[in-house]
Each structure stands twice: as C-alpha cells, then as structure tokens.
Amino acid sequence: MRILIVDDEPIARNVLRDELAAIDDVVIVGEAENGQQALSQISELQPDLVFLDLQMPAMGGLDVIASLKGGHLPIVVIVTAYDQYAIKAFEAGAIDYLLKPVSAGRLQKTLERARALRGKPRAIAENIAEIANAVDKDLSHRTGRKIVGRHGEEYILLDFEEVLAFQADGEVVWIITAKDRFAATQPLHVIEARLQNTQFQRVHRNALVNVNHVRKFNPISSQRWLLTLTNGEELVVSKRQAHSVRGLLHW
C-alpha cells in the first residue's frame, strides 16, 4: 500500500513514518508539510492512502479534502490532536481517524480498514465526500458540501453549488453541471432528503433544480411551465409542482 504523510510538524511525520516502517506491506511514497504540497503529491504520486493532518496553517486538511475533485482519489485517514471534528467525520462514515500520538496497535487497525477499501473507487469517493460533509455541518463559513458523480470509470467529487439539477432517467440519476453530466451514486429520493432546506427544489417527480441556476420560466399552460437553466437545458415543471415553483418568480 502506497502511503503519503501530510503534517506540518516534522516530529509528527517522523513518528508516523517510524511506525509505518515496521509494517511489511506498506511503502511511504512521499511526505508533505502543507495542504498545497499534499494536493500536488496526491496528483503526482497517486498514493493509495493519505494520512492527513487537520490543523495546518494556510491550507488545512479540510481544505485539502474540499479541493479533491476526481481522477485518482486516495483513501483518506484524518490525523489530529483534537478529536472534535475527527469523531464527527468518523461517525458519518469516514474510513478512520487517528489521534496523536499514534499508537502502533491503533495504526494496524486503521490499515486493516484501508485495505478493505482499496480497489473500490466509488466507496473511496463517497468516504471523502462524507468527511467533507460531516465537518462542514459544524463550520458555518464552509460551503464545500460534496456529492459523488461517475464519469466513465472515474468518480468525481462535485460541490453542490456547481450542480444545476438532478434528473432521473429510469434507473440512472444524472447530475447536471454547466458543461457535463455525471451519473449519481444515489437514488433521487436519497439526494432530495440530503438537500432539505437548501437551494434545491423539486420541479417534477424526476427532477430537482438548483434555483440559483434558473434562467427563465415559460408557461406551457396555466398549470405547466418550461424551465430553462443557465446552461440552456430545459426541464418541464409538473402540474403537481407548478404552484410551489411559481413562487421562484418572486425571488
């Protein structure tokens, strides 16, 4: 297993490196002392597993997670001296977290969890999104909530703000962005439940729309509308949803 260690404290990196050196089936491919280096090395070295410190100056671990998009997505394990956010992320489904100082026994358990996840890109992407979303709920200045979309063989992390709409087409739910479409990993009703009290509104039994990306409405009849998104795509507003959606005209 190829591992990247990210921590701004040299002593902390040394301790973790020494513990990992005693384990046969891992290799440390790199170390980073800040978030920008971490992103660069994740892209260049493509590690299987990243031990990521949360508290770093300028660009912390949460900012690294929020900046991950697609291509190669590593398994992420949070490393921190403070468990407030780490525990919340773990409870929400993150792969694991380690509290400093890291013990050898605890590290072995973490590696076992990581091995079980290795080779499962969808599960890795969803875990990264869960870390970002779990901690984001407690940080009012952050708007980095994530959703996972599939594009070919890649799983992409998308910010909700860049999503124009979700549209179900049979078994597939499409995530519509300004320039592309991605297959969602969750059904529409699950996505809708996650988006309660946000800028997303149901306009049809098969569609949710980001109201911030609505360009115009055109009436088809007294009870039906044609909605145009900012990328030019058109969606029909159903009779059942027409009344509530008309309220958007007053925004």
Residue of higher predicted confidence among 83 and 160: 160
Q: pLDDT per residue over 46-61, tens digit each?
A: 999 999 998 888 888 8
Place of tokens 């001296």: 81
Residues 89/80, Cβ–Cβ less than 8 Å: no
Report the CATH number of the 158-250 domain: 2.40.50.1020
* H-helix or E-strand spanning residue 151: strand 146-151
**In the prediction, which pLDDT does 150 show?**
95
Q: What is the mean pLDDT of residues 97-125?
A: 89
Q: pLDDT per residue over 187-216, tens digit each?
A: 999 999 988 888 898 999 999 999 889 888
- The verdict on domain 2-136 having CATH code 3.40.50.2300 is yes
Neighbouring-strand partners of residue 229: 214
**In the prediction, which pLDDT does 183 show?**
97
49-53 and 2-6: which strand pairing? parallel
Domains 2-136 and 158-250 share a fold: no
Residues 57/142, Cβ–Cβ less than 8 Å: no
The pLDDT-based confidence of 136 (bands split at 50, 70, 90) is: low
pTM: 0.80
The amino acid at 146: K
How would you classify residue 144: left for phi > 0, otherwise alpha for psi between -120 and 50, otherwise beta? alpha
Q: pLDDT per residue over 229-247, tens digit each?
A: 999 999 988 877 877 766 6
Q: How far apart are CA 20 and CA 104, in angstroms?
A: 8
Take residue 175 and report the two structure tokens written for it. 């995530």
Domain assignments of the chain as residue spans, ordered by start: 2-136, 158-250
**Number of neighbouring beta carbons within 10 Å of residue 82:** 11
